[in-house]
Amino acid sequence: MAIALIVVLCLLIGISIWGGDRTAPRVREFTWQDKQIGAEDTAFILTFSRPMEQSSVVANLKIQPLLPGKISWAGRTMAYTLLKPAPYGSKYNVNLEKAYEKFAGSRGQQKGNALAPFSGTFRVRDRAFVYIGVEGEEKGRLILYNLTQQRNGSQQPKTILTPPNFVVADFKPYPQGDRILFSAAEWTDNKPGVFKQQLYTVTTGLNPQSPGAESQVTPTSPGKIDLLLDSKDYQNMRFDLSADGQTIVVQRLNRQNLSQFGLWVLRPNTKTPPTPLGDQPGGDFLIQSDGQSVAIAQEQGVAILPLVPGEKPLDFLPGFGLVLNFARDGSAAMVKFNADSTRSLFVDNNQGVRQEVFRTQGSILDAKFDPTVSTLYCLLTELQVLKGEDGDDEYQEQPYLAAIDLKTRKLKPLLLLPQQRDIHMSVSPDGLALMFDQPIASTVPTQDNTLTTSDGQAIGTSRLWFLALTPSKLESDAPLEPEELPLPGFRPRWLP
């Protein structure tokens, strides 16, 4: 019996070897399956159960709608890297069939076993932005507006996030868009010379389900507020949030000792108390994209400081006035004040190469990189010389939006703006749209519940404008036409 069993098993093994493995290879993992990706998600991975004939996979991989990218391999793993961020608010299907494994069977067949048909789906986060309301019950409150929900007509697109007794001064979205960091005070404390802004976080109600992150089974409802930093002993001034959402830097002034003025570091996730970075006087500051250092404008230039108390400065950039923006790859847009009374816009890439891309006699108010770091969108002014009634020269600054191609350094004016300086712009994370505001001065005497611009001017109302940045419109010589949104507000910012 034992000999017979051995013979039978040998025959079965021989038949199996002769006939080859007929089981179909399959996709074991798709890293974006049922996820919502953002601009920071640049590649998905397909892992196969067996080595695949790569050319057959490349020829038969279908992504609908079209999403340009490039393919690379490492063994049984294929990576698809996007050439540019996917448009927000979109849904994609990934299909693969008629591909086959790398090794042919033992009967001389030309192809290996065919792949079991695969189908996957993923979405891109909703196209949404946040702004500060200026009229009625919305005055001074943070408001979320979801353009994707408006387009689909399935839900209410507008959500008021903060209570009516708060007047919001500034805010920064967290990288997942699920929370917003903001500074606010009670309306009763919103008076000139009274600095009682405290730092809070508020939930947006969005659950992005990003790749690699834990998804909440039950999404947090919008409007849940947590206090991060009070104003009992210190006045909280400017603040910034790191790109990874782990670090907050706040400029604070000691109420009892006005000589103690500088930056503090707050890391809420570590449960450690706020730590002073040292006596670092200065003006505007910005956390670098790596979250490990901060650039702060000082009297003679811009200092680069590590976010570790007691450490020496990493660098000093003499002659530069401020850093306007950091790209995700570490590139920086900076303003330099020249001896001939002109201003220069410099771009410092992540390899230490610094070049001037624009020079003007006007002002450089803001600059934002597009997601591919190939275009810099700028808020600029042109200095105009006019003749006054008495025949003397009068100087006037005309603001406008422009795009600078960072390869050719060619500037393309996009849109003339009203003659005012307090304008805020925000470029969408997919680089396909730009928003800006148009505050309108109040014509009535200042009241206790009046909103003001950064230079202290009372706001009567403010308009929000939407400007599409599609490649066809940017390449055309025709002027761009912005769309006014029926949402009175100011300081718009896209959610990441």
Domains and CATH numbers, the chain: 24-124 (2.60.40.1220), 319-419 (2.120.10.30)
3-class SS string, 246-314: CCEEEEEEECCCCCCEEEEEECHHHCCCCEECCCCCCCCEEECCCCCEEEEEECCEEEEEECCCCCCCC
Residue 388 predicted with pLDDT over 80: no
pLDDT in tens, 6-54: 877 877 676 655 555 567 899 999 999 999 999 999 999 999 999 999 9
What integer pLDDT is reported at residue 279 of this predicted model?
Answer: 67
Give the residue-averaged pLDDT of 389-402. 82
- How far apart CA 77 and CA 30 sit, in angstroms, is 10
pLDDT in tens, 480-493: 899 999 999 999 99
Sheet order of strands, 69-74 included: 27-30, 43-48, 77-82, 69-74
Least confident of 48-57, 78-87, 215-224: 215-224
Evaluate if pTM is beyond 0.85.
Answer: yes
Residue 453 predicted with pLDDT over 90: no
- How far apart CA 28 and CA 49 sit, in angstroms, is 6
Say which amino acid occupies 145: Y
pLDDT in tens, 247-257: 999 999 998 88
Of 284, 240, 277, 238, the C-alpha closest to 260 is 277
What Cα–Cα distance (Å) separates residue 483 from each residue in 119, 355, 363?
A: 38, 34, 25
- How far apart CA 368 and CA 335 sit, in angstroms, is 13
Q: Please provide the size of the chain in residues.
A: 496
- How far apart CA 229 and CA 21 sit, in angstroms, is 64
- How far apart CA 53 and CA 55 sit, in angstroms, is 6
Say which amino acid occupies 62: K
